[in-house]
A = this chain, B = another copy of it.
Amino acid sequence: MSATTLKRESARERILDLAEAAVLQKGFGATSIEELIAGAGISKSGFFYHFPDKGELAKALLLRYIERDRAILDDIFARADELNDDPLHGFLVALKLFADMMAAMTEVHPGCMVASVCYQEQLFDREVHELARDAALAWRVRFRARLDAIVARYPPLVPVDLEDLADMLSVMMDGGITISRIMRDPQLLARQVVLYRAFVRSVFLGA
C-alpha cells in the first residue's frame, strides 16, 4: 500500500461507502454512477478505472457486505459464548443480543444486500449470484453447527429438521427486514427475532 492509497480514504472506498448507502436505500438500478462520482469527487473515468463496469461494483459491494455480516455474527456469538457455556443458552443469549441490536436501530434496517441482489437478477452475472448463495450457505452451516451442539444435550421436544431450523433464522432475518421496510416499522425485525428465539426455546425446553 502506497502513501497515496492511504491518504484520507481511497476513492474506491468512498465510492463503495456511497454506493452501499444508496443501494440499500433505493436499489442498485436506481443508483447512478453519476451520483457516486459526484459524491466521491472523482471523474467518470476514475470510476471505470476502479470498476470495469457497474456489475463489478455490485460484486465488491456484496463481498464487503458479506464480510461485515460475518464479523457481526462472529462478535455476537463470541460475546454470547463468553457469558455462557451451555450451547442452548449460548444460542438463546446470542439471539437476544441480536434482537437488542436490531431494536437499537431507530430507523428501518437498511436492507439485506443479499436479498437485494436476489431481486435484481440478470442485472448481475453468475458470479454475483454464487456469492449470495455462498453467503446463505455459510449462515446455514454456522447456525446448524450451533443446533447440533444443542441437540447433543437437549433432545428436541418438537420434531424439527435441524437444517430447516437453521435456515429459518436466515429466512426470518431476510423476511423480517423486508416486512419491516414495507410496514415502515423499525422494531418489527427485532420482535421477529425474539419470536424465533421463543420457538427455539420451546423446541428444546418446552412451554
Chain A residues packing against B (C-beta within 8 Å): 25-30, 111, 114-116, 118-123, 129, 132-133, 136-137, 157-161, 164-165, 167-168, 170-176, 178-179, 181-184, 188, 191-192, 194-195, 198-199, 201-203, 206-207
Copies of the protein in its oligomer? 2
Query: In the bound complex, what is the Cα–Cα distance between A188 and B137 (angstroms)?
Result: 13
CB–CB A179/B111 < 8 A: no
CB–CB B30/A122 < 8 A: yes
Query: In the bound complex, what is the Cα–Cα distance between A206 and B194 (angstroms)?
Result: 19
Chain B CB count within 10 A is highest, among A29, A111, A123, A171, for A171
Q: How far is the CB of A202 from chain B (nearest CB, A)?
A: 5
Q: How far is the CB of A154 from chain B (nearest CB, A)?
A: 12
